[in-house]
Amino acid sequence: MRNQAIHEQAVPVWMEVIALLTEAADLGSTQIGRRPQHSSLALGAELVAGKAVALLDEADRARLDEVALPAAAAAWSVPDLVAEAERVLRGVSFDLLPPAASEVVIDLGDLVWEATHG
């Protein structure tokens, strides 16, 4: 039987990835007038975040708002936040994640490519 839950060692990193993605999503809608080109990327970040949140249990989901982002994140753009989320996720060994996490990993890889190449 395959493990369907995120290993407890990986949960903090997984939550940080979600925090970075939701930050990207919210920044994209806040800046839609000034940077409309980031709207699509922000929506993509929201969609990936939703898939990532779905893999957490209810207790961890309630704690998501407690995750603090680095102070430097306040100056990051939507593409920066997406790229940082992917960089942070790379630090998680895949054997600590359930198979369904693969979808998040690959979608996030696609999103980084969008952020850097379009």
Residues that bind another protein (CB under 8 A): 2-3, 18-19, 22, 25-26, 29-30, 32-33, 36-37, 39-40, 42-44, 46-47, 49-51, 53-54, 61-65, 67, 79, 86, 90, 93-95, 99-100, 102-103, 105-106, 109-110, 112-118
Q: Minimum Å distance from CB 80 to another protein?
A: 12
Tokens of 63: 């704690």
3-class state of residue 65 by DSSP: helix
Nearest to 85 by CA among 32, 6, 22, 41: 22
What is the end-to-end Cα distance of the chain in Å, rounded?
39
Q: Minimum Å distance from CB 53 to another protein?
A: 5
